[in-house]
Amino acid sequence: AQSVSQHNHHVILSEAASLELGCNYSYGGTVNLFWYVQYPGQHLQLLLKYFSGDPLVKGIKGFEAEFIKSKFSFNLRKPSVQWSDTAEYFCAVVLSGGYNKLIFGAGTRLAVHP
Amino acid sequence: NAGVTQTPKFQVLKTGQSMTLQCAQDMNHEYMSWYRQDPGMGLRLIHYSVGAGITDQGEVPNGYNVSRSTTEDFPLRLLSAAPSQTSVYFCASSLSRTAYNEQFFGPGTRLTVL
């Protein structure tokens, strides 16, 4: 069965530190990739997505992610985090050509201290 | 547009009770789905619908029923609640059933089964 692994369950950073959250998936076929964010008390929002083309994708709020097909990875990055980035981040995969059934990772809870 | 709305926001049930979680969207989206979010497990797909009158099971369908009589509404029914169904439930919708569409999530329903 397809699965998504997020390596870090909890990350604590100081403001202005750089962020990289790991995401790997297990599926040999073509996939579409997403990062969602859930701010405290809010619903999930889309940060960025990759379908095809340039493997470096830019999303909202200064986030970016790089798709490395050979490593089955889609890591999320931000050069300088802010306190307002405190949230839970979910990587998700959907199989291209299929229905829009997202497969989520377990999530990474990020806390940014001022 | 209200987007995706869910009611109630919180619910406490006793084991064996039944209830319906409501979900509605006003974006004329074709695809709707229900996920449950549990700590350390991310979101898992319960049921989904690719249009009015068409539903199918996701990853964790046991104990839940759905129906889709209109494009707008996609209620989730718990026939006999069990403590294992304590979770946060999210409804989502997307314009199309294909894997190239952003899913929009509702605010969630936090359910506790005693």
Q: What is the pLDDT of residues B20-75, one digit of tens each?
A: 999 999 999 999 999 999 988 889 999 999 999 999 999 999 999 999 999 999 99
Residue A1 has pLDDT above 80, yes or no: no
Q: Within the 13-42 window of chain B, which residues sit less than 8 Å (CB to CB) from chain A?
A: 31, 33, 35, 40-42
B44 and chain A in contact, CB less than 8 A: yes
Only one residue has tokens 């990772």, namely: A105
Binary contact (A100, B42; C-beta < 8 A)? no
Task: Say if the Cβ atoms of A100 and B108 lie within 8 Å.
Answer: no
Token pair belonging to A28: 């040999």
- The most distant pair of C-alpha atoms in chain B lies apart, rounded to whole Å, by 40
Q: How far is CA B82 from the centre of its chain?
A: 17
| pLDDT value, residue B2 | 82
- What's the pLDDT tens digit per position in A22-50? 999 998 788 999 999 999 988 899 999 99
Q: What percent of chain B has pLDDT over 70?
A: 100
User: Cβ(B97)–Cβ(B29) under 8 Å?
Assistant: no
Q: How far apart are CA B79 and CA A57, in angstroms?
A: 43
In this prediction, residues A5-11 reach a mean pLDDT of 93
Taking CA–CA distances from B93, the nearest residue in chain A reads: A100
At A99 the pLDDT is 86
Nearest by Cα to B51 from B35, B34, B75, B67: B67
What does the block give as tokens for B73? 């509404």
